[in-house]
Amino acid sequence: MNEHVACAVELTSSGYLVLDANVARTFFPNDTLLLFPKPRELWLLPTRGAGGGGLLLKQRNPVGDRAVLVREVLGDALPVGQLPAIWDDGQGALRVALLPADALA
């Protein structure tokens, strides 16, 4: 796997982080993850399945997109919309920027 793989995720106004089916399948094959808030980022780390703890990615639609509630971790000040993300192979985490993609340009 590449050191850094760029993608995008969506944060909804109801506090759900949505991963498209390909991102979910590639980085979270067991549909479970841990959330770690960092300054200006949210790190998502895959776990080895429900037995390993963490949060369950729920199937959102027939295409296979997945969603997880992050409002409890991030609070109510959420940057709603498309957010840039990058897979960091060294950290084993999907690092989500907590700024909309157009704010980073």
- Please tell me the predicted confidence (pLDDT) of residue 53: 77
Those residues with Cβ within 8 angstroms of residue 79's Cβ, 6 or more apart along the chain or in another chain: 11, 98, 99, 100, 103
Long-range contacts made by residues 36-40, C-beta under 8 angstroms, separation at least 24?
Answer: 36/93, 37/73, 37/74, 38/95, 40/97, 40/98, 40/99
Per-residue pLDDT for the chain (105 aa), expressed as one digit of tens each? 446 788 999 999 999 999 999 999 999 999 999 999 998 999 999 998 777 778 999 999 999 999 999 999 888 878 899 999 999 999 999 999 997 655 555
| pTM tops 0.85, yes or no | yes
- Please tell me the predicted confidence (pLDDT) of residue 74: 87
